Amino acid sequence: MRLSDASVAIRPRTAWEAMDLGVLMAREHRLLLTASWALVTLPVFILLSAALWKYPSTAIFLFWWFKPAFDRLPLYILSKALFGDTPSLNQAVRQWPRLLKGQLLASLTWRRLSLSRSFVMPVSQLEGLDGQARQKRLGVLQQRDAGAARWLTTVGVHLEIGLWFGCMALFYLFIPQNVEQNWDWQRLILATSSEGLWLEHLSNAFYALILVFWEPIYVACGFSLYLNRRTVLEAWDLELVFRRLRQRLSTAAPLLLLVIGLTFLPVNPPAMADESKPLSTQSASQSVKALLDKPPFKNPETVTRYRFGDDKPTVKNKDRGDSKLPAWLQALLDNLNSDTFKHFAQALEVLLWSLLIGGLALVAWRYRDWLRTFVSRRAPASPKVVKPAPTQLFGLALGAETLPTDIASTAEQLWATQPREALGLLYRGLLSRLLHDFNLPLKSADTEGQVLERVHQLEQPQLLAFSDELTRHWQNLAYGHRLPPTTIQQKLCSDWRALFSSGGPQ
């Protein structure tokens, strides 16, 4: 075992980190580990399943129970690979029967259920200790990290179960819908007959596949826990560095070392400061400044980009005292600062201000309508829109020109022959009067009832009574085809005359 050949970084770690290193080791040799594990375990699994076809639970239990025997192979591979001597797949699998010798019975019986199984396995397999010596060794090793090893096994059990169920769920998800519908799950699961057996063997096979992935990782985690424990106990990391240091010193400068070594032991200067030159505060701060200006602390870089040049003139003005400007510019600037141009400047200022105000006024005038509409707080005076009076209501023409001059007598004449025309004429006349003489705001969408309501608002009881009666008779005739009695006909005509011929505008 040469520590300098180790393929992992050797240093003391916490127990959890040591396990993580095991995961990385298993990852590094994943192909070899899983392939060898599969080559060894899957034939055994198939044999067990075939032999115990009727008892799938027993088959998987035996397979699970034999795990420590299989575990020896990944441990052998990992221990070889740790020092760079990775075996080939063929070599590894050939080694397995030889690895089974030695304490197989113990590991398969009373040590089988130990929770720190993977942690202590290297002691018997790699160190070859047995009996009292092994117990003493374990006592030293398990002073620490044994709890973590137990947690590793506990988590491992749950992980195996989780992955197993996950595999079955995955299998279930991949069953095509039409196949699934034909299956009677309850019958399959509960059946003790041979139909259900293959399903159980299938789930057993999933477990065997899960182990192909997980068990080498479990062994590697236990192995790295063991390695870490030994690294702490035996200070492997220090040995490694010390050996390198000795090699460096022995090859690099043996003679020099000898010469200096002779002088170094007798007189040891107690202080460690360099005495050659006295330090002063000034020189120290200077050297500190010089150091601080150098790259790791200050990284000057030149950036070229475009930007607005408005900073420049002010900078120039500020620099005036430094007389960096040419003389003519200086004179001009001085002139500008004196009172020579004062009046001119004032005039210019007035002009500019008046231009600004004038421009604003112009803009306000130009957009006065817009401003009045959107800015003014008063509501704009809405222009009086004179709605044209409707020319007809309910299909009755209302224009004054369509009516005869003496409506009442025309209606009396029509009563005998065309009562419908007569009543219609009266009603049309009423509406026309309302519209034109009383200026009722009738709309073409109004119904007879709404017209009556508007008449009501005029507060003329006579007119209202007449309108009410006329409307009622008109509706009876128009929609119900019921003629008003003759007395009513007479009354309506006389009322009309009373209302419109005497007091009306006619």
Partner 1 sequence: MPSTPLDTRYQIETPEGIDLPLRPAGLVPRVLAFAFDLLARGVIMGVLMVPLALLGNVGLGLGALLLFLVSWWYMVLFEVLNQGCSPGKQVMGLRVVQDDGTPVGWSASLIRNLLRFVDMLPFGYFLGAISCLQHPHFKRLGDLAAGTLVVYRERPLPRPQIPQAAALRLPFALDLNEQRAILGFAERQGELSAERVHELAAILAPSLQVSPARAAQQLNGVARGLLGPT
Instruction: Rank residues 103 and 231 by Cβ distance to partner 1 and give the closer one.
Output: 231
- Whole-number minimum distance, CB 210 to partner 1, in Å? 10
Contacts of 223 by beta carbon, 8 Å cutoff, 6+ apart: 22, 25, 75, 78, 79, 118, 121, 122
Q: What distance in Å separates the CA atoms of residue 194 and residue 55, rounded to the nearest whole number?
A: 10
Instruction: Rank residues 225 and 426 by Cβ distance to partner 1 and give the closer one.
Output: 225
Instruction: Rank residues 86 and 460 by Cβ distance to partner 1 and give the closer one.
Output: 86
**392, 445 contact by CB (below 8 A):** no
Strand, helix or coil for residue 74: helix
Place of tokens 């008109």: 474
Centre a 10 Å sphere on the Cβ of residue 467 and count the other Cβ atoms it contains: 24
- Whole-number minimum distance, CB 304 to partner 1, in Å? 23
Centre a 10 Å sphere on the Cβ of residue 110 and count the other Cβ atoms it contains: 9
**40, 93 contact by CB (below 8 A):** yes
Q: What distance in Å separates the CA atoms of residue 314 and residue 214, rounded to the nearest whole number?
A: 75
Q: What distance in Å separates the CA atoms of residue 448 and residue 465, rounded to the nearest whole number?
A: 14
Instruction: Rank residues 37 and 466 by Cβ distance to partner 1 and give the closer one.
Output: 37
The tokens for 66 are 């034999």
- Whole-number minimum distance, CB 122 to partner 1, in Å? 18
Instruction: Rank residues 15 and 423 by Cβ distance to partner 1 and give the closer one.
Output: 15
Centre a 10 Å sphere on the Cβ of residue 433 and count the other Cβ atoms it contains: 23
- Whole-number minimum distance, CB 278 to partner 1, in Å? 21
Q: What distance in Å separates the CA atoms of residue 7 and residue 78, rounded to the nearest whole number?
A: 11
Instruction: Rank residues 88 and 486 by Cβ distance to partner 1 and give the closer one.
Output: 88
- Whole-number minimum distance, CB 7 to partner 1, in Å? 5
- Whole-number minimum distance, CB 107 to partner 1, in Å? 23
- Whole-number minimum distance, CB 257 to partner 1, in Å? 7
- Whole-number minimum distance, CB 136 to partner 1, in Å? 13
Instruction: Rank residues 109 and 143 by Cβ distance to partner 1 and give the closer one.
Output: 143
Q: Which amino acid is at 294?
A: K
> Which residues of the chain form contacts with partner 1 (CB under 8 A)?
5-10, 13-14, 16-17, 19-21, 23-28, 84, 86, 148, 151-152, 155, 158-159, 161-163, 165-170, 173, 213-214, 217, 221, 232-235, 237-239, 241-246, 249-250, 253, 257-258, 260-265, 268-270, 272, 296
Instruction: Rank residues 66 and 213 by Cβ distance to partner 1 and give the closer one.
Output: 213
Q: What distance in Å separates the CA atoms of residue 317 and residue 340, rounded to the nearest whole number?
A: 20
**7, 82 contact by CB (below 8 A):** yes
Contacts of 462 by beta carbon, 8 Å cutoff, 6+ apart: 499
DSSP assigned state of 395: T
Instruction: Rank residues 9 and 327 by Cβ distance to partner 1 and give the closer one.
Output: 9
- Whole-number minimum distance, CB 109 to partner 1, in Å? 27
Please choose, from the candidates 112, 122, 22, the residue with its C-alpha nearest in 3D space to the C-alpha of residue 67: 112
Instruction: Rank residues 65 and 242 by Cβ distance to partner 1 and give the closer one.
Output: 242
Instruction: Rank residues 27 and 482 by Cβ distance to partner 1 and give the closer one.
Output: 27
DSSP assigned state of 86: P
- Whole-number minimum distance, CB 208 to partner 1, in Å? 17
- Whole-number minimum distance, CB 85 to partner 1, in Å? 9
Strand, helix or coil for residue 248: helix
**215, 208 contact by CB (below 8 A):** no
Instruction: Rank residues 229 and 473 by Cβ distance to partner 1 and give the closer one.
Output: 229
**440, 458 contact by CB (below 8 A):** yes
Angle between helices 194-234 and 131-141 (to 10 degrees): 70
- Whole-number minimum distance, CB 269 to partner 1, in Å? 7
Handedness of CA 448, 449, 454, 457 (dihedral sign): positive
In degrees and rounded to multiples of 5, residue 279 shows phi and psi of -90, 135
